[in-house]
Copies of this chain bind each other. A is one copy, B any other.
Amino acid sequence: MTMVSTPAWGDAQVSALDDDEVRRIRNDFPVLEQEINGKPLIYLDSGATSQNPRSVLEAEQEFYEQRNSAVHRGAHHLAVEATDAFEDARATVARFVGVQDDELVWTANATAGLNLLAYSFSNASVDRAAGGAERFALKPGDEVLVTEMEHHANLIPWQELCRRTGATLKYIPLDDAGALRLEEAARLMTSRTRILAFTHTSNVLGNINPVDVLVRMAREVGALVVLDACQSAPHLPLDFKALDVDFAVFSGHKMLGPTGIGAVYGRRELLNAMPPFLTGGSMITTVTMEEARYLPAPQRFEAGTPPISQAVALAAAVNYLSETGMRRIALREAELGQRLVTGLSAIDGVRVLGPGPGEERTGLAAFDVAGVHAHDVGQYLDNLGIAVRVGHHCAQPLHRRLGLSASTRASTYLYTTSEEVDLLVEAVAQVRPYFGVTASGAAS
């Protein structure tokens, strides 16, 4: 395991955000000023959805008040301004993840992005093989490879794709600590493997998967690589070109942006060879009652009125992140992640999932409290104003693998203070006593 002292994206020149800066950052987030049950809100659920700085809310408001219009299809003034704002937003977000403008497709969320890929491949398998889409077609004997730690969004679309095409879904299993068993990955990656889809960082374990190793394996067998960057795009400096993946998806609401928007990155030549997914207006060249011809990417995949104001707001969000500095954010969160795992692991009866203290992890930690159900843990914390997530976090197979059905997850972001982490740890230490569970894990 990589030790936290040398994270892959680290840089000697850059230091982590410090608590003073974080306190200044917090002033930009109106929602954090709130009290819950008379106690200041401690928001530790950014892994589910992040909060929005004022600049993001203002960008959206400004758009609606000054240039709201449909895009691409209009010649009038507002339409031109809206189109400019929309395409500038695409360029901004594309730059943020190191890709070209026309390689970034807007979707409703990351889930829709993964479905876009799976359905496009599915369509290629039905009747598009003529149009250069053969390379995406799946048939019985072909395999799609995922991992046992995937979020349902990066699992079920592939299950369904396999059902529709007769291909087989395989998965890279985890060891007891929740890490990918890379020797198994090597064994599973064969000439039958057509697609490898995996998450960059798990939304439960907080680990960082070895993208380079997995991409190399996939390249050797000629498989397409799909990266679920939902939990990395908000938290780590990213460059999809440098990571050398074929596709990647992420969601706006997890990276200071609004709900209702996500994105798919795809290598240009791939996107333009893939059959469309959603069809309708704004993605065609010519339509007769009999058939339609389609525009190149990104329009090819953006049927209907897109999430215009959401794109504008998401651009404001990534500008906020860039100005703060993704490396500094990542270093800061690595520190908070260590603080979490160290503090929580020290509590009697608490088991933190994923990497242990000193091992590389992101700024989140999911844990089990022996003898207390996760929903009761969450309820106890909520009473103290601490917002955490409880449940399977859309990763049932992962929890099953670790012998659990649910866990409690605390996830940080650039606005999280060290004191908040400490208050969480203190509170968790009170949970078992409150519910009358003895140190041994049995009920008292």
Taking Cβ atoms with an 8 Å cutoff, the residues of A that contact B are 30-31, 34, 36-37, 41, 43, 45, 48-49, 51-52, 57, 60-61, 64-70, 73-79, 107-112, 114-115, 119, 123, 126-127, 148, 151-153, 155-157, 159-160, 163-164, 169, 171, 251, 253, 258-261, 277-282, 284, 286-292, 303-310, 375, 378-379, 381-382, 385-391, 393-394, 396-397, 400
Those 3 A-B pairs whose CB atoms lie nearest each other, nearest first: A111-B304, A260-B260, A153-B280
CB neighbours (8 Å) of A306 from chain B are 109, 259
Closest Cβ neighbor of A383 among chain B residues: B77
Given contacts A119-B119, A303-B115, contact A31 B68 (CB under 8 A): yes
CB<8 Å pairs between A and B, sample of 12 = A45-B76, A52-B64, A75-B382, A77-B387, A108-B304, A111-B305, A114-B280, A152-B280, A152-B284, A169-B289, A260-B310, A288-B397
CB neighbours (8 Å) of A74 from chain B are 45, 48, 378, 387, 389-390
* Nearest Cβ on chain B to A214's Cβ, whole angstroms: 18
CB neighbours (8 Å) of A37 from chain B are 77
Of B48, B108, B164, the contact of A69 (CB 8 Å cutoff): B48
Contact A112 B152 (CB under 8 A): no
* Nearest Cβ on chain B to A85's Cβ, whole angstroms: 12
Closest Cβ neighbor of A262 among chain B residues: B304
Contact A148 B279 (CB under 8 A): no
Given contacts A127-B163, A259-B309, A397-B289, contact A279 B156 (CB under 8 A): yes
Contact A45 B66 (CB under 8 A): no
* Nearest Cβ on chain B to A18's Cβ, whole angstroms: 26
Main secondary structure of the interface of A (DSSP, over half): mixed
CB neighbours (8 Å) of A390 from chain B are 74-75
CB neighbours (8 Å) of A310 from chain B are 258-260, 310
Chain B CB within 10 A, most for which of A115, A260, A261: A260
CB neighbours (8 Å) of A381 from chain B are 76
Closest Cβ neighbor of A154 among chain B residues: B280
Closest Cβ neighbor of A110 among chain B residues: B304
* Nearest Cβ on chain B to A347's Cβ, whole angstroms: 20
Contact B127 A164 (CB under 8 A): yes
Chain B CB within 10 A, most for which of A107, A109, A305: A305
* Nearest Cβ on chain B to A303's Cβ, whole angstroms: 5
Of B36, B77, B155, B260, the contact of A287 (CB 8 Å cutoff): B155
CB neighbours (8 Å) of A111 from chain B are 278-281, 303-305
Given contacts A57-B61, A108-B108, A289-B397, contact A281 B49 (CB under 8 A): no
Contact A171 B292 (CB under 8 A): no
Contact B260 A73 (CB under 8 A): no
Contact A43 B78 (CB under 8 A): yes
Of B36, B65, B382, B391, the contact of A73 (CB 8 Å cutoff): B391
